Every structure is written in structure tokens, then in C-alpha cells.
Chains A and B, each alone.
Chain A
Amino acid sequence: MTDFVQILVSGLTVGSVIALVAFGYNIVFAATRIVNFAQGSMLVVAGYIAFSVTRAGVPIWGAFLISILASLGVGVLVEIVAIKPLGRFDPSTNVGWILTTFGVSLIAVDLIKKTVGAEARPLAPLASSIFGWKVARISGVAITVPDVILVVATILIVIGLEQLQTRTALGRAFRAVSEDRQTAGLMGINTELTVMITFALAGALAAIGAVLIAPRLFVKLDLGVNLGVQAFIAAVLGGLGSTRGAIVGGYVIGFTTAIVSTITSEGGSWGPVVVFVVFLAVLVARPEGIFGSPAVEKV
């Protein structure tokens, strides 16, 4: 029973963490058909910003908001540096953007290392108790308030993103730009600005993710890399471009990792193997993922 609860809790929390980052990949892909490989490092940057601000005495909620605002700028900066210089291109065949966004992520990680240092930084949780309740125990497995906030927030965010993408003019514009850029322009949509907005949103999502994740995982450099890779896999598994896919993919990876580490004695080592094998299998069988539309193969 303990094992089952452990898997459940672990799967939900790890899955939420991954899903939060996967949303960032998703929102950019939904409008541009580009995968922003700098997403993971944007999260780390946001986390360090929040940390630095709290160290200057600002309470956590203030730091949260400041970090989000700053990350909007970070997102735009990534777009200007990694995407804009490439000019006009078809993202599915001309893949230089893979190298530029990947390059940006490497640069960001090293810059953080140089300026702030590589140690893990603690970040206070948004709330450590609700009505005095701090930790619940079920079958010996601990569930803390930040864990609950994490999972609830993830679900709220996915609902919010779905609403954004389906009901607002901006969301419609995203879909139009990704489907047919030329015609989107004919509607009066400023496609370049729209692309910038998606990157800014991705930045904001990264900041939200950082603050929610930090109590559990701390803010550290390899967090960005590991999460970045896992979230990318989750986004592709779920179907790039689909918010629903991102959250489902996140939980799939989360639960797979949780199950594998609970069953096997090696713990950590088998997790990645299983995940990558599943990833490869899905890519070969159904590259567009669970919720994606099959537009992926050639004539």
C-alpha cells in the first residue's frame, strides 16, 4: 500500500513539475512550430531571479511577481537572440533553430554559473501551511502543502491555457500563425509580434514553474537541463501543440519514473532508460504524439 501511495504522490508531483515546463514548450510550438530548447534554462534563470530578490528582503509573493515580470523580458530576449536572426524559414525543414535555442540554453547556464554561482539555492515556498495544516501523512508517505499547491496550480494553469488558446483572440491568432502564416498576416495579425508574445508567455510560465518547484527541488543548474529534457519528452509524447498533451505527457513521464524507481533496486538508473525507450517507441509508431495531428510524415 505504501508503495502505491508513494507512486501516486511521486507521480503527481514529479508529473506536475514536468508538465509545468512542458507548457512552456507547448505554447511556443503552438504558434511557431519551434521547440524552444532554452525553456529549461529560462526556468533556472527565473528561479535565481526570485532567489536574489528574496535575499534582498522582498517577501516571496513579491519575488514571485517580479520574477514573472522579469521572465517576460527573458523570453523576448531569447526570441530576439535565437530566432529573429534566422529570418524567414520553415521550421520543420530548416532546423538551425535547434542549434540556436540549444546554444542559448548552454550560454544561460554558464552565465548563471559565473554570476550567481552553482550552488543550489533554497527558495521559500509560496505557502507552507494552510489553516495551520503543514504536512499530511498517508500510509507513511508525506504530503506537504507546497506539494498540494504545485499540483493544484498545474491543473489551474492547464485550464487557463486551454481557455487562452480556444477562447481569446490571442489564442486564435496563435493557431492561425502556426497553421498558415501568410494568411494570418492577411487578417491583420502581426506575426512577428505574435511570436514574441509566445516567447514572453513561455518565460512567464517558466517563472511560475520555478517558484512552485523550488521548495521541492531547490534552484540549481542541472535542474534546468534534467527538467528541460524530461519536459521536452513529455511535450512530444503528449503531442506538440496541445496543452492537454503537455499535461498528459508530464504525468506519463512522472508516473513512469515513479513506478520504475519504486520497483527497481537501482532506483535512479533505470528510470531514464525506460523513459527513453518509451520515447523512441512512441516516436517510431506515432510521431505526432497522443493528442497531436498527424502532419508529421512526408509524402
Chain B
Amino acid sequence: MAKAETEARDTGEVEEVPGQFGQGVLPIYRRPGELIRFLPVLLLVLFILWFGHSQADSRKWIDLGTEACYLAIAAMGVNILLGYTGILSLGHAAFFVIGGYAGAIFSPAIGLPPWTGFLLAFVGAAAMGALLAVMCSHLRGFYISVVTFAFGALIPAIVVVAKDQLGGPAGRSVDHFVDTSKVPGAGHGPFSLQLGLFYLCAIFLLVTVFLCWNLVRSRWGRAYMAIRESEVAARVSGVNAYLYKVTSFALSAGFVGVAGWLGAQRFVLVSSQVGGPDQSFRYVITVVVGGMGTLAGPILGAFGFSLGFGITWVQNTFRDYQGLLFGTLGLLAVATAPEGTVGNLRRYVRAYNLRRVKKGGAVKQAPPPTVAPELSRPAVRVRDDADAGNGEVLRVSGLTKRFGGVAALSELDLVVRRGTVHALIGPNGSGKTTFINVVTGLYKPTSGRIELDGVSLEGLSPAARSGRGLARTFQNLQLWRRMTVLDNVMVGAHGRYRVGLLRSLLSTPKSIRTERQARERAWGLLHFVGLADKGRDLAGTLPFPDMRRLEIARALASDPELLLLDEPAAGMQVSEIHDLAELIRQVRDAGVTVLLIEHHMDLVMGLSDTVSVLDYGQKIADGSPADVRNDRRVVAAYLGEENA
């Protein structure tokens, strides 16, 4: 039994650990041009049309349908932060209240026409969301949630206290609400106002779907997911994690704010009642049960809950026991099925597709596109202020790093010359990992200087260093396992093919063009490392040596001058190491300088042009492989003093 397991490991057929809470949901592979991907949206539109038509006479159902629509918008907002960026907010209902006040009270009060209220609702809520993000984005997961909880409890409390301006516990009535009987489809029946509001909410929902669809498929969405799966890897790949977390908070708050504005139209009232921690919890459960990290999930959850409560039996049983319902669902969802309804549906679809393939069915994937040769090689971005003259890519002087009283690096000097493979070796604990972390900006040095191409890297964040031409791989693999291989490489190119947030949301022609260029480049690099036919697989399903290649492809995507490889051969078999060496040679031949940290001496000695040896944080030897191998101090460092 265990033997079969280990064999499966060898062939890479086994998938990673089943979804834990907070990890992404598996995407379903769709060939480009397959229209079936639009099916859920089509179903939604049809449902809305059918619902509006068939329930036109039932005030109760129209109201519930309206609620379903705007709660779906709120859920999609929460999903951006929770499902895609991986941050759990326990206070998002506060933005519902903020949006309601901003859009339905404040906006008309300053003279804007009622129907434009959604703009201020979005902007006001988004601004507060950004403020909240600034307060907590530097904290670890649990404490971020605590801060959002405090925020989410504070806002309703402020509303309650501010009786004059905001109406206190009873809230304020909306004097200038939108005349929804003018909305197309509202008709002239007795409920035309309500029906009109339903269609208005539905329109906003579809707009939200459009925006989120574009967001998720853009470099912004990919960056959010990368932050969720491994923030460290995202940062060194050029993603400014702090900024992206703030924008994710802002966007998600904005959508909830618009939902709040719509809710205010429904009740003709804004109050703090709908803004407390219980409500925030419900938003989260809606997203989790529906399926976080998907687009359909929040909509399914919101519709399910809102319309479900319209069923008489449900209403009678659970009306007074909503806590029981939501609590149980939350418990079950997180403990047994964290991927939610849509997530689990996708599992079935994936399993079905896999079975179909195994039976010799349809070709598994579309073949990888062919790419122009110049895009299929590593490239080095030449910088304007580059000091191209002296042939030094990296110069480290007097680098010291202390942790408490211990010096992990001590007055280290190192020079890496352009176009070489430079190896850095040393026994365990000699400071190699610290070195690479300091150079890439994850640790701040105690003293010393690091210059890339003659320009000091001091004070630059890891993302900024990526922009200057530094890239790295990780010894313990920091791949974004629940994203596709192609997406992993595309995030690597994050800094190279830039598109602004607004353009991404609207999917403008420019953004489409830039995306296509980024995709082509990613395919090219996959061809280069030999992973092109696995481009649409999930990164987590790759066999182990392919994962290492993928990390290299991802690192090359930023067109680095210097590629830092952190023990790329760890865990590999001898034959795989041969292939790896060949790949590294090709990288060097393409003009990229390589700094290689390794323990496999055969690899190091056969491949490197220069070898530096660290021991106790200092450089003890520097030279050609043969010199270093026979250096007495090096032998002593590895094997111990013979005369100790």
C-alpha cells in the first residue's frame, strides 16, 4: 500500500493535500475558445429573466430576489478578499452600512441625482476599505482578522452613537431614493417599483460579474492568488504585496458598499442593524458554502440563502434559529468541504474529465502554441543606468547580518561576474540561505553594501529588486500549487507586462493585447525549460523535478540579470541532476548570470566557473572548482578539523 503510494509520487499522479480552508479551488481546464465557460453566466441571466417574469405578482418573492441580487454583489466583494487573496475579514458588513449612508444619504444631500448614488457608495466604501487595509496589512493572518472584527464592530457603534447625523439605532430614512419604476422591465403593475428595483439589482449584479470576471483573469487577479498561495514568492516575483492587499481590500469593500446602496433603496432606510459582526459572519459563510475562490460560488450561496428563506418550510423552521443554521453550515463547510459547493462540483468535473482522458478519449489539452524563438529564450533586460562596463553583476561588500547576538554573515565580500555560473557552497549553517535572503531583500542587513550592476539595492523591497533584475528560486519550493503552470510563469512576468487596475477591470483592448503578449512570453519560457506540454496542468500535480524547472521558468520571466538558484538539485535523482545542469548551462549561454547555492558537489564542480565557500558566515575560499576542492580550509569546514 505504501509502495503504491511511493510509486505514485514518482510519476506525479498524486495530487497535493486535499483542500484546506483558505487554499484556492481547482480550476477547470477549458480549451481556448470553448464557449461552455460562459454557461454559468448564461444560466444566471436566464434565471433572472425567468424569475422576474414569473414572480412579477408576488411581492414577497420579488423582495427576496432583490435581496439575493445585492447580497450576491456583497458576497462577490467578500470573495475577492477571502477567496482570491486569502484574507478573512470579520467586519465587511460595516461597508454595507457605509455604502448605504454614502450613496443614499450623503450623495443626494450634496445635490447628486439619486441614481448616481452607487458611485459615492463604491468610492466611500472603497476608501474606508483602503484605510482598514493600511491598518492591518502588515500583520499575520489571524491578527488581520481581529482588526477587521474590531473595525466591523466599531462602525455600527459609531452609527448608534451619532444620533443627529446618522440617526442612531433606528437609522435614517432615505428621502431621495431611486425611482425604479423607470427601469426597463418594471412594467406597470402594482409592484412596478419593486420589480424595477429587482431588475436594477440584477443589472448591477451582472456588471459586477463582468468586472470580477475580468479581474480574476487579469494580472491583478493572478497576483492576488499568488499572495494567497505564497506571499513570499509573490514578493520576490515582483508583486508589491502590500499595495495589492490594499487594493483587494478596497475593491471588495467597494462592491459591498454598492450592495449597501441597493439595500438602502429596498428598505428606504439605512441603519446599523445590517452591519454587525453577525452579518459579517453570514457574508463569509455565504461565500464559503457557495464556494470561495470561484465566481459562481458567492452568487450560488447568496441566491441559495435568500431564496431559500422564502420557502415556507425553511422560514418556519429556521426563522428564529438562523444562528443554528449558519453556524452549522459554517462548521460543516470548513471542517468537511472547505471548497464549498462550486469547488466540490469542480472536483467532480475534473475527475470526469480525467476519466474520459484515461479511456483514450478526447485529447487532453490543446497543444501548446508555438512561439517565436526570441520569446523562447531567457532575455536580460538592459537597464539605462546599468554599469555595463566592468563586467560585475553583483558586488557584495562587508555584508554582515546578525540575529540577536549571532552573526549569520560576517563581513562578507563577494563578486559575481557577468555571464558566469558562480557557485556558493558551505556546510550547514554557514549562512548561504541567510545570504540569499539578504540579497533578495527578505532580510535587512546589519551592515554592508549590495550592488547590482553598480547600483545599490539598499532599502529596496523584494519586488523592487525583482524590477532591477534579480530573481530567485526557493530551496523548499514556493510554487503556487493551485494555479496552472502557465499562470505561475505569468506571475513571474508580473513586472514586465503591466496593466493598470481600471483597464484590467474593464478588459480594455490594450489590456487584452498586453495579456496576450505576457501569455506568449510565458509559453516561450515553458518551451525553453521543457514544460510546454504541461502548461495547463496545475503546478501542484507536476512531478518533483518539473516543479524545480517551473520555478526556474518563473524566475526567468522577469528577464533577470542575475538568477539566484537556492539548492535546485535538492531531492533530485542523479539523472535529473544531469538535465538540470544542462538547463543551467543554457540559461548562462543566453546571457543570464547564475548564482548557484548547492550541496551536490558533482553538479557544482562540473558546472561552475567560480566557486565561493562560506563557513560561519564568512568567505573562506574563492576560485575555480579544482582549487576550492583541494583547499585545506574547505575540507576542514566540511569534514571537521582533524586535530580538534
A residues whose Cβ falls under 8 Å from a Cβ of B: 35, 81-82, 85-87, 89, 91-96, 98-100, 102-107, 109-111, 113-114, 229, 233, 236, 266, 269-270, 272-273, 276-277, 279-280, 283-284, 287, 296-299
Contact = CB atoms under 8 A, between A and B. Distances in A.
Nearest to A295: B140
Contact of A269 (B139, B161, B285, B329): B161
B154 interface: yes
26 contacts: A85-B335, A86-B20, A92-B141, A94-B20, A94-B21, A94-B22, A95-B141, A99-B284, A99-B285, A99-B288, A99-B330, A102-B330, A103-B285, A103-B326, A103-B328, A103-B329, A104-B331, A106-B327, A107-B324, A111-B324, A113-B320, A269-B157, A272-B153, A273-B154, A277-B154, A279-B150
A233 B146 CA distance: 9
Contacts of A92: 140-142
B523 to A, nearest CB: 33
B135 interface: yes
A284 B132 CA distance: 10
Contact of B151 (A35, A85, A280): A280
A105 B327 contact: yes
B470 interface: no
Given A95-B142, A100-B334, A284 B21 contact: no
B209 interface: no
Interface of B: 20-22, 88, 90, 135-136, 138-143, 145-147, 150-151, 153-154, 157-158, 160-161, 168, 231-232, 277, 281, 284-285, 288, 320-324, 326-331, 333-336, 338, 442-443
A283 B88 contact: no
Given A91-B142, A106-B327, 7 more contacts: A85-B336, A94-B21, A99-B331, A107-B323, A280-B154, A296-B143, A298-B231
Among B147, B160, B327, B334, find the residue whose CB has the most chain A CB atoms closer than 10 A: B327
A65 B277 CA distance: 34
B171 to A, nearest CB: 14
Nearest to B22: A94
Nearest to A110: B324
B20 A298 contact: no
B42 to A, nearest CB: 32
Given A99-B284, A297-B140, A106 B326 contact: yes
A276 B147 contact: no
B90 A98 contact: yes
In the complex, the 4 A-B pairs of residues with the closest C-beta atoms, listed nearest first: A96-B21, A106-B327, A110-B324, A85-B335
B135 A103 contact: no
Nearest to A111: B324
Contact of B139 (A35, A81, A94, A298): A298
B43 to A, nearest CB: 29
A85 B337 CA distance: 11
Contacts of B90: 98
B161 A287 contact: no
A276 B321 contact: no
Contacts of B140: 92-93, 296-298
B161 A100 contact: no
Nearest to A96: B21
A104 B327 contact: yes
A170 B287 CA distance: 40
Contact of A86 (B231, B277, B327, B334): B334
A229 B154 CA distance: 12
B399 to A, nearest CB: 18
Given A89-B20, A269-B161, A297-B140, A114 B321 contact: yes
A99 B280 CA distance: 11
B142 A98 contact: yes
Given A86-B21, A105-B327, A276 B150 contact: yes
A287 B151 CA distance: 14
B141 A93 contact: yes
A270 B157 CA distance: 8
A94 B328 contact: no
Contacts of A299: 232, 442-443
B89 to A, nearest CB: 11
